[in-house]
Homo-oligomer: A and B are copies of this chain.
Amino acid sequence: MRKNYVLKGNICYCIESSRIEISDGAYLVCEDGKSAGIFPSLPEQYQDFPITDFGECLIIPGLVDLHTHAPQYAFRGLGMDMPLMEWLETHTFPEESKYGDMEYAKKAYQIFADTMKKGATTRACIFATIHSEGTDCLMSLMEETGLHTMVGRVNMDRNAPVNLCEPSPEQALADTEEWIIKSRTQYRNTEPILTPRFIPTCSDMLMEGLGMLQQKYHMPVQSHLSENDSEIAFVQELCPWSRCYGDAYDRFGLFGGADCRTVMAHCVHSGDDEIALMKKNGVFIAHCAQSNTNLMSGVAPVRRYLEEGIPMGLGSDVAGGCTTDMFRAMVDSIHASNLRYRLFDDSLKPLTPAEAFYLATKGGGAFFGQVGSFEPGYEMDALVLDDRNLPHPQELTTLERLERMIYLADERNIVHKYVAGRKLF
């Protein structure tokens, strides 16, 4: 597969969160699957690389979805009328319990994978269910898309319907280890990630064992944190020894730190202690604005997280969010920050479009390494956007066209997609 080539077009990306870099009609060089840089004219040493000229199209980094649930895609856009704990019981758990049926799982996951393939997302952290076979099926299907993803077989052994509880911590850990061993070498683009659902559904014994598996296999970790007030109160009840919700993960060795790359979804109601711990441990935040709006959880203090330098990206959180579309996730994050600023706390300024774009690219991309930018050395994840379906009577700059895309693009605008140097379409 060819990994040395040049893309020409109007190139937009972030180096830092405060601004978008624009290079009109420039050459983006891909060498061995990575960016060798952006050049106004093609340097001598790349003259032999094949060039594709995308004319007036925009070229942007692929978008990164730091948090989504594949088995919930089936009920996207449904049942968005209740808070978290009630919503889990009414909608989510009944649906997820179906994924022990492989026929159903395959049908449902195929729909999810097809959507992810044609959308703007190039990297994603994905929850499956407690079912090993179903999770394998999802991993195979994601592998076929060409996206680079981390997929988690979910762990839960309490406070859930019996058919969604693993039979015992011991069995859960044995099954999880078997799944890790099998899946970590099986795929090229698809990696297993440890996925305790959240503290309410995971016993201390299960969490302890997962902490040991994390150390043994150097696994990345994903879970949920401080999404909803009653969830947080429940965690305090379940783990009276913890200083905060995040501390409960930390005591089990599942909250960042050296050799434990961790992403936590939500962090809507994290207090000072928890924020300090996330910062100290380098825990990533997956900010899921639409989900937090749909389930009336609130709005995370994203401006504070940016200012504190906590690593952060955006999550679609399907089906708390109704769509996998990361353009929409950018706008939702701006909208939620606007209303948080206006209705709740005007000390935290709203997100700018540049900041939302940063979070959806380089911010979340960092969870995957050097991903989400076109700076030299970054993996070549790129989208070529054609915006001619949105005509306009006036001249627009490239930056204005990108801003319009943030607000108005959907998968129809994505004409080509590259992941880690490989062209998917």
Interface residues of chain A, those whose CB is within 8 Å of chain B, are 74-78, 80-81, 95, 98, 104, 107-108, 111, 290, 293-294, 296-299, 322-323, 331, 334-336, 338-344, 350, 352-353, 391-394, 396, 400, 403-408, 410
Contact A408 B76 (CB under 8 A): yes
Contact B394 A343 (CB under 8 A): no
23 sample A-B contacts, Cβ–Cβ < 8 Å, listed by A number: A74-B393, A75-B394, A76-B404, A77-B405, A77-B406, A78-B396, A80-B334, A80-B407, A98-B394, A111-B392, A293-B338, A293-B339, A296-B342, A296-B350, A298-B343, A299-B343, A322-B331, A322-B407, A322-B408, A336-B339, A343-B343, A344-B344, A410-B410
Q: Enumerate chain B residues within 8 angstroms of A299, measured Cβ to Cβ.
A: 339, 343
Number of copies: 2
Contact B338 A335 (CB under 8 A): no
Return A386 CB to nearest CB of chain B, in Å: 16
Contact A323 B408 (CB under 8 A): yes
The docked-state distance in angstroms from the alpha carbon of A408 to that of B406 is 17
**Set B294, B296, B353: member contacting A80, Cβ < 8 A:** B353
Q: Enumerate chain B residues within 8 angstroms of A391, measured Cβ to Cβ.
A: 111
Closest to A341 in B: B296
Q: Enumerate chain B residues within 8 angstroms of A74, measured Cβ to Cβ.
A: 392-394
Return A342 CB to nearest CB of chain B, in Å: 5
Return A70 CB to nearest CB of chain B, in Å: 12
Contact B297 A342 (CB under 8 A): yes
The docked-state distance in angstroms from the alpha carbon of A400 to that of B297 is 23
New contact pairs (12) apart from A81-B352, A323-B407, A336-B339, CB-CB < 8 Å: A75-B392, A76-B404, A76-B407, A78-B404, A81-B350, A108-B394, A111-B392, A296-B339, A296-B350, A299-B339, A340-B343, A410-B410
Q: Enumerate chain B residues within 8 angstroms of A335, measured Cβ to Cβ.
A: 290, 293-294, 335
Q: Enumerate chain B residues within 8 angstroms of A342, measured Cβ to Cβ.
A: 296-298
**Set B76, B107, B297, B403: member contacting A78, Cβ < 8 A:** B403
Closest to A391 in B: B111
The docked-state distance in angstroms from the alpha carbon of A80 to that of B334 is 10
Return A236 CB to nearest CB of chain B, in Å: 21
Contact B343 A108 (CB under 8 A): no
Return A269 CB to nearest CB of chain B, in Å: 11
Closest to A268 in B: B342
The docked-state distance in angstroms from the alpha carbon of A406 to that of B392 is 27
